[in-house]
Amino acid sequence: MDPDRDGTVVTAHTAKLEKMVRIRLDYSRQSRTIRSIRITGDFFMHPEDAIEGLETGLRGAELERDALRQRISSALAGTRCFGFDAESLAGAILDAGGGAP
Amino acid sequence: MAVDECLLYRYGAAGDTVLRIYGWSRPCITIGYFQGVREEVNLERCEHSRVDVVRRITGGGAVFHDMEVTYSLVAGRFPLDIMASYRSICDMVVLGLGRMGLDASFSPLNDVTINGKKVCGNAQTRKGGALLQHGTILLDVDVKKMFSLLNVPTAKIRDKAIADVKERVAGIGRTFEQTAEALKGGAQDAFGCELDAMSLSREDIAECRRIMAARYSQESWTHRR
């Protein structure tokens, strides 16, 4: 097992419209960067296939609030989301990654 | 699911509006587009209970379809604002329930409630310039059965989860036929239109079969997240 590799599943309730967002995160504990991420839940996103772009866009991101928020906002430009926004999603990812640095 | 998708592309995208009202030959679970199937559903128990599981093309949560009236509405013309479009289509449900003497109201984003309890959940997608809204009107709710098939975070909170849902969700206590008729009336009231009955054409059915083979009968679709 790679000690630098850590898979975490965290369930985070978002306050927005009582939707649930779950984060499955594979990240480097050493560099605190995301290797891969899966975002699931009962939220809505239009268009729906933006979710793949969001997950891809977060690969390599640093587990730091501003960096995450920026990546999320950039990936979701032109997308309508109900159930989370860049701020709450960044918070949920940080929770999954063991909290803010 | 395949019929709804067929209607979306063949009718909604052509500018038509179609309301489909249906039930289920046996209980089924649908999960939202973004949900993880193993996170939400006890697949082993579903298989044992012969409950099918399928992913929708619409977002939202897992639904145990049992004692309910299900509808889909496709439209080529609709409010671009998502909240406004939910409100507009849910008005059909509100007015339909009103025809049965039920005082319902739209509860944003995507629910219809009576006395604060959810009786109808809805989910939308937009593709090819058209809108599809799925909705379920609960006739009755077997929360215990539902939670035997859906996953809750831990067994410890199962009883609380059941109590919470009983507190927040209710059936309307009408028959399928009464509700289906009322929903048709609600559509006429909400959209100021007459309804024409339609059947799927041979080409529609062929397209439904193609969609079913390519998507909904594929495990890779339902298990993609």
- ipTM at complex level: 0.90
Chain B residue with Cα closest to A80: B82
- Determine the average pLDDT of the residues in B162-168: 84
Q: Does B192 touch chain A (CB under 8 A)?
A: no
Res. A26: pLDDT tops 60: yes
Q: Which residues of B touch A80 (CB under 8 A)?
A: 82
Chain B residue with Cα closest to A11: B153
- Choosing among 3.20.20.70, 3.30.930.10, 3.30.360.10, 3.10.20.740, the CATH entry for B2-219 is 3.30.930.10
- Determine the average pLDDT of the residues in B82-88: 96
pLDDT for B144 equals 87
* CATH number attached to the domain at A5-96: 3.30.390.50
pLDDT per residue as tens digits for the range A44-99? 999 999 999 999 999 999 999 999 999 999 999 999 999 999 999 999 899 887 76
| Cα gap A31→B98, rounded to integer Å | 59
Res. A100: pLDDT tops 60: no
pLDDT for A17 equals 54
Q: Which residues of B touch A43 (CB under 8 A)?
A: 34, 59
Concatenating the DSSP letter of every residue in A11-80 gives EEE-SGGG-EEEEEEEEETTTTEEEEEEEEES-EEESTTHHHHHHHHTTT-BSSHHHHHHHHHHHTTT-E
Question: Cβ contact (<8 Å) for B34 and A46?
Answer: no
Q: How many angstroms separate the CA of residue A98 from the nearest CA in chain B?
A: 20
pLDDT for A80 equals 94
Question: Cβ contact (<8 Å) for B109 and A47?
Answer: no
Res. A101: pLDDT tops 90: no
Q: How many angstroms separate the CA of residue A94 from the nearest CA in chain B?
A: 20
pLDDT for B120 equals 98
- Give domain limits for chain A: 5-96
Would you place residue A12 in the very low, low, confident or very high pLDDT band (cuts 50, 70, 90)? low
Would you place residue B209 in the very low, low, confident or very high pLDDT band (cuts 50, 70, 90)? very high
